[in-house]
Structure 1
Amino acid sequence: MTKPVGIILAGGLATRMGGGDKGLLPLGGGTLLSQVIDRLAPQVEALALNANGDPTRFENLGLPVLPDSIDGYVGPLAGVLSGLDWAASRGATQVISAAADTPFFPRDLAERLTQAATDAQSPIALAATNDPERGPMRQPTFGLWDVALRQDLRNALQGGLRKVVQWTDKHGAAMAIFDPAPFDPFFNVNTPEDLARAQNLLETAT
């Protein structure tokens, strides 16, 4: 079976980091974004970046840069839609999404999401971590999305929908549940303190 294609979601405004591109912040010997690329690229057939503004700032990555097709920075679903449209142009049937500010997500993300969607016979699967007190906590920027849903998503966004889970629940999204130990693999960098923590975690990340 052909692997899904991947989309890295980097279309946000990064207001808590003072604006700009969080993904280009230094981490380890590279950047946040290079860590994400290193994890996602082996899991997918092809990879693109969802980002708005001048695409030339990412030209050294050698990836297609896909802007939101819905104006106004309406959230991660706009990036998912751009990924679905790109996948359709390639003849792909599924997209795996990952956030550009989350450098430690699982290396078996795509495999586990695909299995969850298959088992549930669902067109969408979202990653989740298992909280011992609150139960599964969904990570809605990490998902598998069926390309057949792209017009439905476009219509929903144009109609004002913004919350990811509001749309995914409508389609009976499955969940792939990941262990949060020794630390949450979906820990994301929102502040300078988070970036410092990510640097410390690099030595223990797997």
Structure 2
Amino acid sequence: MNHRTTTAGVILAGGRARRMHNQDKGLIPYRGRPLVCYAIDALAGAVSEIIINANRHPDRYRALGRPVVPDLTAGFDGPLAGILAAMRHTEAEVLVVLPCDSPLILTEHIEKLLAARDEHDADIAAAHDGEHLHPVFLALKTDLKNSLQEYLSRGERKVGHWIGQHRLVLADFSATPEIFANVNTMSELAALETQNER
């Protein structure tokens, strides 16, 4: 199925990364390239527009050739704030959401997520690995932006709670749970690099 004409992607790189000494996580090198580049590669095969949500170092992100959109608020309000900023930026009907720190995700995984949403005409598809929900690996309709704005305006921040208020389908990734390996500390980054050298 061709998603390209109506689908955009956003890479969430707007967090503070406290456990990585407040480094800008998307710009940290992994196997010689910034982490964010792996998300760009994965999205490039599945969507027609790629947005980077970043609240720091916009020039360095823009140098990667993609538009950079900060949160609409200055409080580092979490993933939903970045998703809302991307929804406001794009005219696409569907938005794919990826974190900047999961370098094992490929285009085929994004296509699977989009297919799950299409098949059920769901508002949102979220990845599930058989044991855990991955609430920042999503495909969702951008016409949910007013709902999301209202949710954030009430001071709510939990992704799982918000997506649960809509027609939600879980995309089954139980055969490949390892793709969701993400980097929250420098030791996790080193471990991931070591694993993928084998």
For 1:2 and 1:104, locate their aligned partners in 2 and report how far apart those are by CA, in whole Å: 22
1:67 match: 70
For 1:53 and 1:196, locate their aligned partners in 2 and report how far apart those are by CA, in whole Å: 24
Residue-by-residue CA offset, 1:157-204 (whole Å, 9 max, x unaligned): 0111110011111003111111355x6211110011111012123346
- 8 Å CA contact 1:28–1:202 kept in 2: the answer is no
Q: CA deviation at 1:70?
A: 3.0
TM-score by length of 1: 0.88
Structure 1 runs not aligned, ≥5 long: 132-136
1:33 match: 36
Q: CA deviation at 1:54?
A: 4.0
2:14 match: 11
Out of 173, 178, 183, the position equivalent to 1:184 is 178
TM-score by length of 2: 0.92
For 1:94 and 1:39, locate their aligned partners in 2 and report how far apart those are by CA, in whole Å: 16
Moved more, 172-181 or 146-155: 172-181
For 2:101 and 2:126, locate their aligned partners in 1 and report how far apart those are by CA, in whole Å: 17
Cα 1:158–1:149 change in 2 (3 A) is: same
- 8 Å CA contact 1:50–1:68 kept in 2: the answer is yes
The answer on 1:193 being equivalent to 2:194 is: no
Identity %: 35
Over the residues paired in the alignment, what is the CA RMSD in angstroms?
1.6
1:101 match: 101
1:134 match: none
For 1:149 and 1:96, locate their aligned partners in 2 and report how far apart those are by CA, in whole Å: 13
2:80 match: 77
Corresponding residue SS for 1:47: strand
Q: Which runs of 4+ in 1 moved over 6 A?
A: none
